[in-house]
Structure 1
């Protein structure tokens, strides 16, 4: 039989592991963006339409929306409209520094929520062609999705940055 302190300790370790992994991939994305001018952050340096700044903006918005889902389900996630194309580009007046500040604020909010929410709590996913009808995700699954999305886009940003000035996140 498992004692209550062991269960608590295991949950704390899981939260710490999730948050540490997410922080690591956020750090890769931030490292890739460091030192870029706003012009460089908006540069399309490959055949892709993606930019480093656009990826930071997208990851910030994605993390914010998914944590709204974790707290209040699909209705909370969809309460704020999203510009599906504009989320990948720096808008008029947006700067790399400003995007990174907002990213830090969103990350701090996410970390606080992951530390306190019930990881087993689940909500039905919003209706979308890429989700199985009637499927639901737990808070844990949302955090794992954030890790995967952040890691994937940090890799995209790294390729774009290397094509701009040769800087690489690793190696």
Structure 2
């Protein structure tokens, strides 16, 4: 491939992936509209999930998978993960700050996808019990995973918000 097109001239697959990801990010962000930090940190179900924690988690997941897509398993593991803390708001975190951070991650992902010359480029997955040994994921597969993760958690967020104050994003 020669020069990469930009904007509306993106290849159809790139544009479709970005559009789908934007739609599910939008659902997730919309679920948090009008909430206080206290509401965003509140658990409303038997789950440990809260809306702020979901934003934090999805942002971290997207960021880690973008590092994988650009640099492989070592890049993905370059920052430690607080496996429990990623699902809750901790002292000093605000919903606005978490949403701003998520927007920054989304902008970096979108820029990467827009500039990606080859969605078939792949890296071996990190060793983990949930990955097939020796498997590799392409940039395309990473993006599909991020879309699925975002969509799944947007649904969780909708349930939490409805339990919080009766508001529905997708219902």
Map 1:37-52; keep pairs closer than 5 Å.
Answer: 37-52=36-51
Structure 1-normalised TM-score? 0.93
Gaps of 5+ in 1: none
- Give me the whole-angstrom Cα distance separating, in 1, the residues matched to 2:9 and 2:100: 33
Would the aligned equivalents of 2:69 and 2:138 in 1 still touch at CA under 8 Å?
Answer: yes
Q: CA deviation at 1:91?
A: 1.4
Structure 2-normalised TM-score? 0.93
Q: CA deviation at 1:170?
A: 2.1
4+ residue runs of structure 1 moved beyond 6 angstroms?
8-11
Structure (1/2) with the larger helix percentage = 1
- Give me the whole-angstrom Cα distance separating, in 2, the residues matched to 1:11 and 1:56: 28
Q: CA deviation at 1:92?
A: 1.2
- Give me the whole-angstrom Cα distance separating, in 1, the residues matched to 2:27 and 2:11: 24
* 1:102-122, Cα deviation, whole Å (9 max, x unpaired): 000000000000111221100
Q: CA deviation at 1:10?
A: 10
Equivalence for 1:153:
153
Equivalence for 1:72:
71
Gaps of 5+ in 2: none
Would the aligned equivalents of 2:119 and 2:140 in 1 still touch at CA under 8 Å?
Answer: yes
Report the aligned-residue RMSD. Answer: 1.7
Equivalence for 2:168:
168
- Give me the whole-angstrom Cα distance separating, in 1, the residues matched to 2:73 and 2:94: 30
Map 1:1-171; keep pairs closer than 5 Å.
Answer: 12-117=11-116, 118-171=118-171
